[in-house]
Amino acid sequence: MIQAFRRSGGRHGYQLFRCQHYHKSVLAIRREDVNAWERRAPLAPRHIKALAGLGYKVLVQPSNRRAIHEKDYVKAGGIIQEDISEACLILGVKRPPEDKLIPKKMYGFFSHTIKAQEANMPLLDEILRKDIRLIDYEKMVDHRGVRVVAFGKWAGVAGMINILHGMGLRFLALGHHTPFMHIGMAHNYRNSSQAVQAVRDCGYEISLGLMPKSVGPITFVFTGTGNVSKGAQEMFNALPCEFVEPHELKEVSRAGDLRKVYGTVLSRHHHLVRKSDGVYDPVEYDKHPERYTSRFNTDIAPYATCVVNGIYWEQYTPRLLSRQDAQRLLTPLRPSAAATEGCPELPHKLVAICDISADTGGSIEFMTECTTIDSPFCMYDADQHIIHDSVEGLGILMCSIDNLPAQLPIESTECFGDMLFPYIEEMLLSDASEPFESQNYSPVVRDAVITSNGTLTDKYKYIQKLRESRESTQSLAMDKKKKVLLLGSGYVSGPVIEYLSRDPCVEITAASVMKEQLEQLAKQHSSIIPVVMDVTKDEERLSSMVKKHDLVISLLPYSFHPSVAKKCIDSKVNLVTASYLTPAMKELQQSVEAAGITVISEVGLDPGLDHMLAMECIDKAKEVGATVVSYTSFCGGLPAPEHSDNPLRYKFSWSPQGVLLNTVQPATYLKNGEIVNIPAGGALLDSVTVMDFFPGLNLEGFPNRDSTKYAEPYGIQSAHTLLRGTLRYRGYSKAVGGFVKLGLINTELCHLLSAAAPSMKWQELMCKLLGLKPPVKLDDLREAVYNKLDKDERQLEAIEWLGLLGDEPVPRADTLVGALAKHMEIKLSFGTGERDMIIMRNEIGISHPSGHLEEKYISLVVYGDAKGYSAMAKTVGYPTAIAAKMVLDGEINTKGMVIPLMKNVYGPILERVQAEGIVYNIQSVIKQ
């Protein structure tokens, strides 16, 4: 019996040390017959020669597809034979068909069953039924858990060759001939040496400066430090390359040398940080990966031309890139003056992703389907979230072949055989019919035995539990889908639908009077059921629809929520809204409790995330015996600075009428122990304060509604200051003040603008508001408006810019403010390629038992995606969707009216919104 195996010097030399006992067994190498490209074998002729020299009989099933010719196996001492039933050990690379499994034998191959993969469970069942002892190469690991038998390096080598070839095609589609065009697919080379020469030839042209200048510096990011990454880097080194540290990538991507390419190797510590404090602890991460998030999307990916992903992904570990990240990364770059039609610049920095790990839906979330050697590339369009087989069009070039080593079959076979060979004889000397426990295996082999004697071994009995769990889940899903009725199809509906649609067990019906919006939603999310109806008028039909659903999400204006809530009460259906819990809704509290349903309000942005961020800080302070002495919170939805180019410095990302009415509401707040009341009618705009926490943004803020009412629900009655307010760019309040002076923000019925009244131009309406009898010259009207505005030039500029002194028609509306809102929605809407932003700032003063005063600064800044969701849609929609999902899943089961002030509600939402790109920052300053 062999005691040890050791490679000696020289390529084909092996030394085998044995005991005196000699046992002759038969080994068989089976034919690979599942995939047309599978040309590998588990052992090469040199390994057969070594075994034959020891007296073992080796059978080799004939195969013209195998890359190593049969005559080489014969020359080494193998016997070409179809019937391999004589063998006690049968080795292959990939799984055999179920009907070709021979009972009571020992098999070795990659089974892909250890995660209870559904597609391979019939194979596992047949293995168990036939009393086969299965050794899975994937589980042959050393004492550190590192795999000792793998094709990883050759996956990396082949993957790198392929993506260089693919980049040549993609660059050509974008208008650039590059040296990468001279590199072929990996399987077009007899061996890696030939491929290396082709890559070197490409590199020579790059070193001569033949890469188009408008493409800019080419950067590659290699994730992971294992064999896959090393194999890819080995091929990359054939180019004129320079490796830089990850933090240097930004600079070389901007100003690097075009006569070389740049690479960086990413380890965990470069991008993983604890969610709570931004620190990486490797020991804790191994135990609790769910506590961590990746900064790859912000710190690395924006500066990468190509990402070569070689890391293994498991559930609960952070992803490198999400769908939302892809949308941001594909935002078109602003072309420079040097760009021309014949020499275009790249539409975005990230050109390609080579996902060698091939984990669908894993670390690259939007890689949902592997490509193949036949069709190696596809394009991922992040805006439409679609994948199409091409190298043209919009998006990222993707390559995610799951059998890459098959492209370099001879070298892969030889290398894999070298790793497997030291364990062959102990497999041969065992008996599959004997009890597994009686076999004298090394730990490497013993721990890789999945099945034996008709059962799963103890180490792998969990597979059956995984199967049962999945089958139970699928059965429940088939029995009853969770049905959601979504009312409204505006800005926020997209993220709500997108999030809930990730769960195939959720069925969404979207009801709205806006037919075009519904059609667009249905186009983007094929799983939803669109229903065109006016839910505010067709109450009988709405009641009927509510009864058929498990949950209603209302994105209608807040005034309609009580009506919807009453129908939910009647049908005992849960309800979620993002709007304020108004007095009209509060009146339904007893009815809601009696119906035994959950009605959640204020789970958007403001209100919503502001509550949650406040309560997270307040609860933590109370846990250490501290007292909150002050609380201020300001939030605003704004255009991104580069798109704030109008007198109001504002554009609409939500209800224009709501925005305007907020400026004439009353407000109450507490400051230094004194109650401050601001009356309705526009006095709010005189209470504006300069906000300098982000000096570069030039912000102002004003109070919002009654801040004092939050002292009790927040549990901070001890606070001497309590203020919640709205953020705008400086100049907004001044401009809107002009509308108030002119009487335009008026909610009274205006018959002049009704459908029955004659059409009216803005200058005519202005004359009526100012008491001027037409006809009036423009200069005279302008002078009258100027005087009404107390000769404020800024306010007059805003009025003129909006065309309110011109001959544009006034929109039909019930009120003046309604007409102004419709007009401003047209004038101040976001244009193509423009984006909005959300800014929230909480400042909380905390008094500690020690006497120290701590100031907590909580900042949230989110940008919209130019071709995706707005920041407002994301920050309202995702928290709303998460709360809805928690109700559906039973995570929130409190009955009655609920707002997110409890830890079991706000905690999971704050954690999950970060995965959607809604990330906040906390700073702390201790004062004596």
C-alpha–C-alpha distance, residues 454 and 450, integer Å: 11
Longest dimension (CA), the chain: 120
Closest C-alpha to 676, from 649, 702, 713, 644: 702
Report d(CA 163, CA 762) in Å as an integer: 60
C-alpha neighbours within 13 Å on the C-beta side of residue 444: 18
**Strand intervals (E) in 824-909:** 836-847, 853-863, 896-898
- List b or e across 601-626, with b for residues whose CB sees 16 or more CB atoms inside 10 angstroms: bbbbbbbbbbbbbbbbbbbebeeeeb
- Asked if residues 355 and 367 have their Cβ atoms less than 8 Å apart, the reply is yes
| Cα dihedral across residues 657, 660, 666, 667: positive or negative | positive
Structure tokens at 85: 């039933």
Amino acid identity for residue 392 in this structure: E
Helical axes 871-888 vs 493-500, angle rounded to 10°:
40
CB distance 160 to 236 below 8 Å: yes
Active site (annotated) includes residue 606 = yes
Buried b (16+ CB within 10 A) or exposed e, 729-765: bebbbbbbbbbbbbebbbeeebeebeeeeeebebbbb
Number of Cβ within 10 Å of residue 468's Cβ equals: 11
Whether the CB-CB separation of 653 and 872 falls below 8 Å is answered with yes
Residue 318, judged by CB atoms within 10 A of its CB (0-12, 13-18, 19+), counts as buried
**Cα(310)–Cα(151) distance, integer angstroms:** 13
100 to each of 26, 95, 117, 124, 746, how far by Cα in Å?
A: 18, 10, 20, 13, 82
Q: How far apart are CA 711 and CA 131, in angstroms?
A: 69
What is the helix (H) or strand (E) element at residue 380, kind and residue range? strand 378-381
User: Of 136, 355, 606, 610, which is the active-site residue?
Assistant: 606
- Residue 288, C-beta contacts closer than 8 angstroms, at least 6 positions apart: none
Name the token pair of 627.
């007292």
The residues annotated as belonging to the active site are 606
